[in-house]
Amino acid sequence: MPIQHTLEPPNAETDLAALGPDVTPLDQFYTRCNFPIPRLHSTTWRLQLSGAFNLPRAWTMDELRDLPYVERTITMECAGNGRTLMTPVPPGTPWKLGAVGTARFGGIRLTDLLAATGPKSTTTELVFGGADHGEVEPDGEIPYEFNLDATTARSDGPMLAWSMGGSPLSPEHGFPLRLVVPGHYGMRSVKWLTRINAVDEPFAGHFPRKYRYRGERGVPEGTPVGPIRVRSLFTSPSDGARMATEPTTLHGIAWSGSGAVQRVEVMVDGQWMPAQIGDPIDGTGHVAWTFDWIPRGAGTHDLAVRATDSAGHRQPESSIWNEGGYGNNAVHRISVTLDG
C-alpha cells in the first residue's frame, strides 16, 4: 500500500516494489495535494479560457471530447521526491523516493484546444488554475495556479486528461480534468483544472515563486524548477533485504525529462558496471533495467545505480542541497545481506 504522509490534504508515496517495468497500479500511484480535494461534477463543470485568446469562452466536457482523442504513457514525479535524503532535511512533505509513477493518460492534446481558441501572438505564457484553494503564507487564501511558457504549451507533449489507466480520473488525481506536462515535475500538471488564462507577461503567482532552486551549488539563484532531472531507482531488492548467496537479477527503473535514458550502471562493492535497459513504455514512459549479479560471497554488500540521459546529464554521487528540497536525483544506494 502507498506510504501515507498526510490525510488532509492527502499526500502519499508509492512503495518502490510497486514501480515495476510496466505502468504503476492506480491504487499504488503517489498522491500530491497542496489543498483539500475539491468536489466537482462533470455535468456542471466548465473550463474557462480567458485573457489573450482570439476566442475566449467556456468549454464543456462534451465539447472537449469532440476534439481528437489521444492516449499517452507518462512518468510523473514530484519535485520534492527524495527530499528526506538531503542533509539537513529541507521543510516540506517528507518524501523518500516513491513520489513517482507512470500511467497511461487519455484526453486531448493541449495544442488542439489552442488551435481552436487562438492565443494571440503576444501571449508568452498560459496560466492554469485548479478548483483547489487554501491558505498560504504570506499570500493568504489563494487558488492553485501554475504557468507554462507558450512554446511548451504549443508543443505536441502537454495534454488535458480526463482518464488515467483507462478509467475516469479519481478525485485525488484531478477529476474531471487535469493538465499533464510530460518531462516536467508534477507541480506544473495542474489538477481539477477550471481555467486557462493567456498572458503577455510572466506570471508571478505563489507557486511559481515557490518552486525555484535557491541555495543550490552550481545553479543560478532563483532558477525555476524545470524538467525532471535524470534518475534511476532499485525496485528489487529493497534496502536492507536478506538474500541467499546465489546469482540474482537486480531490477529497477530510470527516467529523465531532458532526454532519453541512454545508460544505466550498477555499482557492486565499489565497481560500476553496465546494466541492461529496455525500451520506454509505449515510447514515452520510464525504462526498466536489469543487472545479473553473481555475488562473490556472503555478507553485507553495498549497491548503487545511476543513469545518464541523451543530453549528457548523469546522476550526481550525492545529494546537492537546496532550500526547497527539489530535484534531488542523487545516485540510489542500498545495502543487502547475503546469507552464507
Peptide bond before residue 56 is cis, with ω within 30 degrees of 0: no
Q: Of 179, 187, 272, whose CA–CA distance to 232 is shortest?
A: 272
Q: Please state the φ and ψ torsions of residue 99, each to the nearest 5 degrees.
A: -85, 60
Q: Of 122, 77, 121, 80, whose CA–CA distance to 100 is shortest?
A: 77
Q: Domain boundary at 171, 189, 224, which? A: 224
Is there a contact between 213 and 223 (Cβ–Cβ < 8 Å)? yes
Q: Of 118, 129, 119, whose CA–CA distance to 35 is shortest?
A: 129
Same domain, 191 and 235: no
The SS3 call for residue 154 is helix
**Encoded amino acid at 13, one letter:** E
Q: Which residues contact 221 (CB under 8 A, 6 or more apart)?
A: 213, 214, 215
Rg of the chain over CA atoms, in angstroms?
21
Percent of all residues in the chain with a pLDDT value above 90, rounded to a whole number: 96
Q: Of 276, 281, 283, 289, whose CA–CA distance to 332 is shortest?
A: 289
- pLDDT tens, 80-92? 999 999 999 999 9
Same domain, 160 and 89: yes
User: What Cα–Cα distance (Å) separates residue 275 from each residue in 23, 268, 304?
Assistant: 21, 12, 11
Same domain, 11 and 56: yes
Is there a contact between 138 and 181 (Cβ–Cβ < 8 Å)? no
- pLDDT tens, 290-338? 999 999 899 999 999 999 999 999 999 999 999 999 999 999 999 999 9
Q: Of 100, 103, 97, 77, whose CA–CA distance to 305 is shortest?
A: 97
Same domain, 254 and 213: no
Per-residue confidence (pLDDT) for residue 2, from 0 to 100: 87
Per-residue confidence (pLDDT) for residue 1, from 0 to 100: 76
Same domain, 243 and 207: no
Instruction: Provide the grid cell at 53.
Output: 485568446
**CA torsion 121→125→130→134, rounded to 10°?**
-140
Per-residue confidence (pLDDT) for residue 119, from 0 to 100: 94
Q: Find the mean pLDDT for residues 183-191.
A: 98
Per-residue confidence (pLDDT) for residue 291, from 0 to 100: 99
- pLDDT tens, 165-181? 999 999 999 999 999 99
- Predicted confidence band of residue 283 (pLDDT cuts 50, 70, 90): confident
Instruction: Show the domain range for 322.
Output: 231-339
Residue 78 has pLDDT above 90, yes or no: yes
Q: Can you give the CATH number for the domain in which 325 is found? A: 2.60.40.650
Angle at the Cα of 130 from the Cα atoms of 195 and 132, rounded to 5 degrees: 145
Same domain, 207 and 128: yes
Same domain, 214 and 237: no
Q: Can you give the CATH number for the domain in which 161 is found? A: 3.90.420.10
What CA–CA distance (Å, rounded) separates 309 from 258? 7
Is there a contact between 259 and 228 (Cβ–Cβ < 8 Å)? no
Same domain, 86 and 218: yes
- pLDDT tens, 204-228? 999 999 999 999 999 999 999 999 9
Q: Domain boundary at 173, 198, 224, which? A: 224
- pLDDT tens, 29-73? 999 999 999 999 999 999 999 999 999 999 999 999 999 999 999
Same domain, 126 and 262: no
Same domain, 115 and 263: no
User: What Cα–Cα distance (Å) separates residue 96 from each residue in 2, 81, 210, 227?
Assistant: 12, 6, 20, 20
Per-residue confidence (pLDDT) for residue 340, from 0 to 100: 74
Same domain, 245 and 219: no
What CA–CA distance (Å, rounded) separates 50 from 58? 9
Q: Domain boundary at 170, 194, 224, which? A: 224
Average pLDDT across the chain, whole number: 97
Same domain, 213 and 309: no
Residue 76 has pLDDT above 90, yes or no: yes
**Number of folded domains that form the chain:** 2
What CA–CA distance (Å, rounded) separates 73 from 331? 25
